């Protein structure tokens, strides 16, 4: 690794992407060298079962700008991108997917906007080739509702592909939460943000790692990480049901006392019991989700574990996080300044 600080750090989470590593590297190098940008390429292997890590290690041996960070198992995309930000040393950091859905050719446009003074430059997809209509629709709904529930707005149709200035990266790696919804965290951080449009290409090779069920839970996870609106919704519905039940009880009592009407109540009683039981279970689940978040936060486990002979177990001080990987790798990041 060179000691000079590169202009750009390109960070790429990769999970079973062995066929995409070489083409990604080739296209990145072509674009960045054309633009005379100095860079480092950090590929975070998120516990792949294929030979992704070997592909990257081969590149690392040939090109000192490339660096492999390897997880001990699959920790997920958010953990892998967090690790990339922890390790990056560049003046700006570009996060992108390994599957070439985010074209490296867009990077010069991101850099141009950054040089104009924007600290976060999102790449916004105008078209999403090769993605089913249902995925586009669910993604649209997610962004609408996320922005409505959480105070901080993510621009619509923005994925993970973005450029972030060093100053913002420093704040990002200090954020202590264990449940990381990276997109939301950047919009929460603020600073001057802008978007650049691009055409999202189909995957170069391999399969998407996200099915609809996984996406549903991810969305719920994201919303509950950024807002307590679901808890308020539960309270609201609870209040409505309570008022309804109260009014019903008053009506039944009045009918019995004033008009002596006999009401065969078991059918209604059973139905409302099931309804209330269901509502309560759902609400318990929502509350449980938040308790689960508190639990993982209090456990204070690191966000990821590197499978690296030099890495020690990162600090588990959950209130003062400063890049798990940074504290675990000797010197590398301190020597360059």
**What residues line the site for Mg ion (CB under 5 A)?**
97, 99, 101
Q: For residue 314, which phi and psi values (nearest 5 degrees)?
A: -65, 160
Residue 76's region, left for phi above 0, alpha for psi from -120 to 50, else beta, is left
CA torsion, points 280, 285, 291, 296, in degrees to nearest 10? Answer: 170
In the complex with Mg ion, which residue's Cβ is closer, 108 or 206?
206
Q: How far is the CB of 217 from ligand UDP (least distance, A)?
A: 13
CB of 100 to Mg ion, least distance (A): 9
86 touching ligand UDP, by CB under 6 A:
no
Question: In whole angstroms, what is the distance from residue 43 CA to residue 69 CA?
Answer: 6
Q: Is 102 in the site for ligand UDP (CB under 6 A)?
A: no
Ramachandran quadrant class, 91 (left: phi over 0; alpha: psi -120 to 50; beta: rest): alpha
Q: Please choose, out of 10-18, 108-116, 243-251, 259-267, the segment that lies near ligand UDP by the rule CB under 6 A.
A: 10-18
Size of the chain, expressed as the number of residues it contains:
337
Both structure tokens of 187: 């919009």
Q: Which whole-number Å values give the CA distances from 137 to 97, 212, 269, in the listed order?
A: 21, 12, 40
Q: How far is the CB of 211 from ligand UDP (least distance, A)?
A: 10
CA distance 295 to 297: 5
- The window from 69-77, 117-125, 220-228, 314-322 that contacts ligand UDP (CB under 6 A) reads 69-77
**Residue 101 or 193 having the CB closest to ligand UDP:** 101
3-state helix, strand, coil in the chain (%, to 5): 50, 15, 35
Minimal distance in Å, beta carbon 27 to ligand UDP?
Answer: 14
Sheet strands (E) in the chain:
8-14, 39-45, 66-70, 92-95, 120-128, 158-165, 193-200
Q: Using the rule CB under 6 A, is 76 a contact of ligand UDP?
A: yes
Residue 15 touching ligand UDP (CB under 6 A):
yes
Q: Which stretch binds ligand UDP (CB under 6 A): 94-102, 142-150, 164-172, 252-260?
A: 94-102
Q: How far apart are CA 89 and CA 69, in angstroms?
A: 14
Query: How far is residue 25's CA from residue 308's CA, in Å, rounded to a whole number?
Result: 22
| Rounded Cα–Cα distance for residues 182 and 199 (Å) | 22
Verify binding: residue 209, ligand UDP, rule CB under 6 A.
yes
Task: Pick the binder of ligand UDP from 6, 13, 302, 314 (CB under 6 A).
Answer: 13
Residue among 207 and 337 whose Cβ is closer to ligand UDP? 207
**Binding residue for ligand UDP (CB under 6 A) from 8, 10, 11, 14?**
14
Our finding on whether 136 is near ligand UDP (CB under 6 A) is no
- Binding of residue 104 to ligand UDP (CB under 6 A): no
> Which residues, 171 to 200, sit near ligand UDP by CB under 6 A?
none
Applying CB under 6 A, which of residues 6, 24, 32, 46 lies at the interface with ligand UDP? 46
With 0-12 / 13-18 / 19 or more C-beta atoms within 10 angstroms meaning exposed / middle / buried, residue 3 is exposed
Is 307 an interacting residue with respect to ligand UDP (CB under 6 A)?
no
Q: Residue 184 CB, nearest distance to ligand UDP (Å)?
A: 16
- Tell me whether residue 13 or residue 230 sits nearer to ligand UDP (CB atom): 13
In angstroms, the CA 264 to CA 269 distance is 9
Residue 16 or 150: which CB sits closer to Mg ion? 16
Q: Figure out which of the listed residues 208, 255, 299, 316 binds ligand UDP, where binding follows CB under 6 A.
A: 208
Instruction: Find out whether 137 and 209 touch, Cβ atoms under 8 Å.
Output: no
Specify the residue, 207 or 335, whose C-beta has the smaller distance to Mg ion.
207
Q: Which positions lie near ligand UDP, rule CB under 6 A?
A: 13-15, 17, 46, 74, 76-77, 80, 97-99, 101, 208-210
């Amino acid at each position: 690794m060179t000691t000079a600080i590169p202009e750009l750090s390109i960070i790429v989470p990769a999970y079973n992407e062995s066929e995409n590593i070489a083409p990604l590297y080739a296209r990145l190098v072509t674009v960045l060298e054309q633009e005379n940008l100095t860079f480092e390429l950090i590929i975070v292997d998120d516990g792949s079962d294929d030979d992704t890590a070997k592909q990257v290690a081969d590149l690392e041996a040939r090109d000192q700008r490339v660096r492999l960070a390897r997880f001990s198992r699959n920790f997920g995309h958010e953990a892998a991108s967090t690790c990339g930000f922890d390790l990056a040393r560049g003046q700006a950091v570009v996060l992108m997917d390994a599957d070439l859905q985010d074209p490296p050719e867009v990077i010069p446009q991101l850099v141009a906007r950054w040089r104009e003074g924007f600290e976060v430059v999102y790449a916004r997809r105008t078209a999403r080739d090769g993605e089913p209509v249902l995925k586009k629709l669910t993604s649209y709904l997610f962004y609408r509702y996320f922005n409505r529930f959480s105070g901080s707005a993510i621009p619509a149709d923005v994925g993970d592909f973005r450029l972030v200035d060093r100053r913002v990266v420093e704040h990002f790696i200090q954020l202590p939460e264990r449940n990381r919804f990276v997109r939301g965290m950047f919009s929460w951080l603020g600073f001057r943000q802008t978007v650049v449009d691009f055409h999202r290409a189909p995957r170069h090779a391999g399969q998407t790692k996200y099915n609809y069920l996984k996406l549903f839970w991810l969305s719920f996870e994201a919303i509950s990480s950024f807002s307590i609106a679901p808890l308020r919704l539960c309270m609201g519905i609870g209040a409505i049901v309570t008022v309804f039940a109260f009014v019903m009880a008053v009506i039944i009592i009045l009918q019995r006392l004033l008009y002596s009407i006999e009401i065969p109540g078991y059918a209604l009683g059973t139905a409302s019991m099931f309804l209330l039981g269901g509502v309560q279970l759902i609400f318990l689940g929502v509350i449980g989700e938040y308790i689960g978040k508190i639990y993982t936060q209090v456990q204070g486990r690191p966000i990821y574990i590197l499978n690296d002979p030099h890495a020690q177990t990162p600090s588990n001080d959950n209130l003062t996080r400063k890049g798990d990987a940074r504290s675990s790798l000797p010197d590398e990041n301190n020597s360059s300044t």
